[in-house]
Structure 1
Amino acid sequence: MTHVVEQLLELLELRKLDDYLYQGTSEDLGFPNVFGGQVVGQALMAAYRTVDSELSAHSLHAYFLRAGDPAHDIIYEVTQLRDGRSFSARRVVARQHNQEILTLTASFQREEAGFEHQFDMPDVVAPDGLKSELEMRREHAECIPESKRAQLTRESPIEIRPTWPMNYVKPEPRPPYKDTWFRAISNLPDEQYWHHCLLAYASDFGLLGTGLLPHAKSFYQRDMQVASLDHAVWFQRSFRFDDWLLYSTDSPSASGGRCFNRGTVFDRQGRLVATTTQDGLVRHRPQKG
């Protein structure tokens, strides 16, 4: 296991303060606020710490209430909502500076057999031979503001390979569809909760950006205010996050300063393993002067 993957697992591990109370640190990804996927992943981990080990998360629904401060720890308080024979539910509140920054509800289920069907996996280029986002950022490091260059070109624990790369500095309009391969760069523990928490973490990468594609906008442009408002994940089948997963995203609608986005996650065998949705704040604020 590489050092950067170990650091990511440590980030998600959390420190237990009391029954149903946990503490997490933050990482600097070059953003002014805490990365939303980090808070979702840590909140899911906190919920996992309070349920029976035979249970596995099948869904989570989160609301981002305030921006997180990367300079301070986050406190996660878990509430036991229900423990039944097949399902358990937990509510998690993430707090900083005595204020709630995120609420998350997660549902867990014991494994059982049932009917099966799924949508087919999109026919896209395989990940082998595609350039990663990190490789492309390093090739064009001179285009990245110097204050962010070190963070955005350092080694990452998650490798992301877009099938149709875009120029984030000078984007051009394109349809609101995107297919991206991603995975952890080294082997992970076998317990499924690690793979769930890491996918919850990584599912926030680029999802909201799908809705910016038709408008030729990106997070890197100073005239844009972009933030996640909510985030949901459904886990359909078991998977490993240390093997390639295809994240196929689309954005059916943008209106009223908000942008709605959806994602489906497939493994290399074409199994649909997870589904995501997200509503985001998208405001264009032209620079004065």
Structure 2
Amino acid sequence: MTEVARAAAADPAAAHAPEPVPLTPDGVPHGQPVLDRLVALLDLERIEENIFRGVSPAESPVRVFGGQVAGQALVAAGRTVPADRKVHSLHAYFIRGGDPSIPIVYEVDRIRDGRSFTTRRVVAVQRGKAIFSLSASFQLPESGMDHAEPMPEVPAPETLPTYSERIAPYRERLGWFARAPRPIDLRYVTEPAWVSREAGPREARNQVWMRADGRLPDDDLLHVCLLAYASDLTLLDSVLARHAVYWGTDKVIGASLDHAMWFHRPFRADDWFLYDCESPSASGARGLATGRFFGRDGGLVATVVQEGLLRVMP
């Protein structure tokens, strides 16, 4: 656990405490101190045996970021499971928009403790109402059949522009998305949707290299929760690209509705991984997106599916 995480465990408000951080050329905080603050947000306060409390960062949008509540809920579930059992899947529903100005209480239900599998259900609550629910399954490591689809041929992350460079010409139009602190290092392989929209609709696909912007402790659960957090950052871009619209530049109202992940192989979230996303369908003001995480070595480490609410206003 980092020093910031230790401080937050004793005092959740420590996650909001200002500290010197490196800045990108456009003045946005990034690097290890910003990553440490994200780790601190995931280090929940235990209130009772099966009840935990989390907070949101000071620099939050109007609603709690979906990846944050998913990551925190998974931490809550994992804190009630033996360390030798690893997360292999999660299924979640976003029920109400979360308020980032008040804490979130996570209530864990110990559904089953079997010989090989452990199942947990978590409900996130604010003001007495559920805002999010998650079911997660954990498994003792086993050997068995092993195969996977190959990683797409893409340029190496070091050869691609940084997120700061990509977003520079669009900072004013993208508003909060351009100003938010960046604990995750992003390198777009395909053109970002805020760029490609100017040329009209294109293939419903989005590819981006990602990694935690710093070093993480050797905690398997933390790395899985960081991946869950990152999985919500660019997934719906594949839907938006197909329709040549984007948050901030067009009148798009969106929110995650449900989210599922399957974890296939060990990985480190502070190493580069490719997030390959595409959208098979959009209808009824909802868009479906699927994503695959590949490690730098080409191994498939996780699969993601999400449906999001997407309303394009006239």
Report the TM-score range of the alignment, normalised by the length of the smaller protein.
over 0.9
* Structure 1 unmatched ranges of 5 or more: none
What residue number does 2:212 align with? 184
Farther off after superposition, 222-231 or 104-113: 222-231
Aligned-partner residue type, residue 136 of structure 1: R
Aligned-partner residue type, residue 31 of structure 1: P
- From 280, 296, 299, the counterpart of 1:271: 299
- From 276, 284, 287, the counterpart of 1:259: 287
Tell me how far apart the structure 2 counterparts of residues 154 and 224 of structure 1 sit (CA, whole Å): 19
Aligned-partner residue type, residue 204 of structure 1: D
Alignment of 1:114-133 (within 5 A): 114-133=144-163
What residue number does 2:186 align with? 160
What residue number does 2:51 align with? 21
Q: Higher helix share goes to which structure?
A: 2
Q: TM-score, normalised by structure 2?
A: 0.86
What residue number does 2:202 align with? 174
Tell me how far apart the structure 1 counterparts of residues 235 and 58 of structure 2 sit (CA, whole Å): 20
What residue number does 2:138 align with? 108
Q: Is the 8 A contact 1:17 1:23 kept in 2?
A: yes
What residue number does 2:253 align with? 225
Structure 1 segments (4+ residues) deviating >6 Å:
none
Question: C-alpha offsets along residues 64-105 of structure 1, whole Å, 9 cap, x if unaligned?
Answer: 000000111100000000001100000000001111000000
Tell me how far apart the structure 2 counterparts of residues 170 and 274 of structure 1 sit (CA, whole Å): 27
Tell me how far apart the structure 1 counterparts of residues 169 and 244 of structure 2 sit (CA, whole Å): 22
Superposition deviation, residue 138 in structure 1 = 3.7
Q: Indicate the RMSD between aligned Cα atoms, in angstroms.
A: 1.6
Aligned-partner residue type, residue 54 of structure 1: D
Identity %: 45
Q: TM-score, normalised by structure 1?
A: 0.93
Going from structure 1 to structure 2, the CA distance change for 1:208 and 1:154 (only over 3 Å counts) comes to: closer
* Structure 2 unmatched ranges of 5 or more: 3-31
Superposition deviation, residue 134 in structure 1 = 2.8
Question: C-alpha offsets along residues 114-134 of structure 1, whole Å, 9 cap, x if unaligned?
Answer: 110101111111101211223
Going from structure 1 to structure 2, the CA distance change for 1:111 and 1:39 (only over 3 Å counts) comes to: same
Superposition deviation, residue 259 in structure 1 = 0.6
Aligned length: 282
What residue number does 1:57 align with? 87
Superposition deviation, residue 29 in structure 1 = 5.1
